[in-house]
Amino acid sequence: MSTFHQRTGLDARFKEIAREFFSIFLPDKVHFRLIGVEEELADVHEHLRFKRDPTTEFIRYRPDTFVCWDKAYAKPSWLIELKTALTGFQYDQAWPLREMRRQVPDLKKEEVANMELGAFQNLVRLRSLGLNVVVWLYVAYHPQRWLALLPEAELNLRALEREAMRRTAGSGTPIANVFIRVDGVRVWTLPAWLAATFAVAEADVAAFLTEREARLQLRDGASEPG
């Protein structure tokens, strides 16, 4: 099971990969900034984790990064959330999967990734307001591994609220079981989404991500809960 410290280490490495992407593929065209709570509110971040009111959770779960095109380009900005999922369901007939197949009968176990429920709901709210919001996902057990997801409420196939999570061996944080089947509409491969959104070469992006994949692994022999 990963610790909070190990998870923040993964987050930091994913942010570096995102920064490198924009500096290599779009130098002098876009401005990339970290805006997550860890960067701007580091002094209260630990306290926010214990607050449950809507205002606090809105701040706590805001996206990690902001990308703004240079003033010379009439193109929209993006908010980007970065997530890693290293282990999924081990068994194809696990009872949560059977429950989710009431909505998606042909659901495969590798087509589900866990996200913090508050974070996912916040991203859905932001997108409903007309903001450009995307989640970059590294899913180690997914056939495509690197994904881009446009958050919609319907992608949350099953929510585990706080009371249910308290009975598990994990942290007790409420989670969303998010549907991550690539359809080219709500869920893309990350290279394809970046090519379509930022007009970069998809094959070059795929090679870039493959070279950096080893960074998004838990260290010291730890494993992530499924």
Query: What pTM value is reported for the model?
Result: 0.87
Query: Which residues are registered as beta bridge partners of 169?
Result: none
The pLDDT value given to residue 50:
81
CA angle at 10 for the pair 4 and 180, rounded to the nearest 5°: 100
Closest CA relative to residue 120, chosen from 171, 161, 90, 92: 161
pLDDT digits (tens, 9 = 90+) for 168-191: 444 457 899 999 999 999 999 999
Query: What whole-number distance in Å separates Cα of residue 66 and Cα of residue 85?
Result: 22
Q: How far apart are CA 29 and CA 50, in angstroms?
A: 39
Q: Where are the domains of the chain?
A: 4-214
CA 117, CA 74: separation in Å to the nearest integer? 34
- The structure tokens listed for 217 are 């692994």
* Regions of the chain with pLDDT less than 50: 1, 162-171, 220-226
Instruction: For residues 1 and 143, give the distance between their C-alpha atoms in angstroms, rounded to a whole number.
Output: 23
What pLDDT, on a 0 to 100 scale, did the predictor assign at position 58?
A: 79
Instruction: Please choose, from the candidates 111, 96, 102, the residue with its C-alpha nearest in 3D space to the C-alpha of residue 165.
Output: 96
Q: What is the pLDDT of residue 224?
A: 42
